[in-house]
Amino acid sequence: MAESNSSHNNQYSATEIPADGHQAHPLKVYFVVWGWLFVLSACSYAIDFMGVQGYLRWTLILFFMFVKAGLIVAIFMHIIWERLSLTYAVLLPPIAVLVFVAIMAIESNYTVLTRFIFFAGG
């Protein structure tokens, strides 16, 4: 590695903060993650290809989605190597979206109910 600071500690460690703020990590980590992203995408596609339905389908879709998203954010975007002040600043605000999802799910149920009551004739 050309960076003088990182040449001393190019051992991969999830808790280590790069001394100069540069994200220089061994290539192997990236290749492993890359491979896993391919495998997980193939799994997602297989759900549809094999026609899995119902709750099993939704559970699997969400599971593969979150694992893929987690790998991209954690390794490719280097979040596990950043200090917590940045990690929390970018990962906590989206929780508000989940609240919004809950509100809109309730609202949509009400909307579809009223539609069935008042537009039942078509």
Partner 1 sequence: MTDTSSAKVTASDNRPKGLSGLVEDWSSDQRAFKNVSWRKAMMWIFLLSDTFIFSIFLLSYMTARMSTKVGWPNASEVFSLHIGHTNFPLLLIAIMTFVLISSSGTMVLAVNYGYRKNRNLTAIMLLVTALLGATFVGMQIFEWTKLISEGVRPWGNPMGAPQFGGIFFMITGFHGTHVSIGVIFLLVMALKVWRGDYDKQTPGYFTSRKGEYECVEIMGLYWHFVDLVWVFIFAFFYLW
Per CB under 8 A, residues contacting partner 1 are 1-3, 6, 15, 17-25, 27, 30-31, 34, 37-38, 41, 44-45, 47-49, 57-58, 61-62, 64-65, 68-69, 72-73, 76-78, 82-86, 88-90, 93-94, 97, 100-101, 104-105, 107-109, 111-112, 115-116, 119
Residue-wise DSSP of 62-112: HHHHHHHHHHIIIIIT-GGGS-HHHHHHHHSTTHHHHHHHHHHHHHHHHHH
For residue 75, count other CB atoms closer than 10 A to its CB: 20
Tokens 């002040």, residue? 85
Instruction: Please say which residue, 8 or 58, places its beta carbon nearer to partner 1.
Output: 58
Q: Closest approach of Cβ 34 to partner 1, in Å?
A: 4
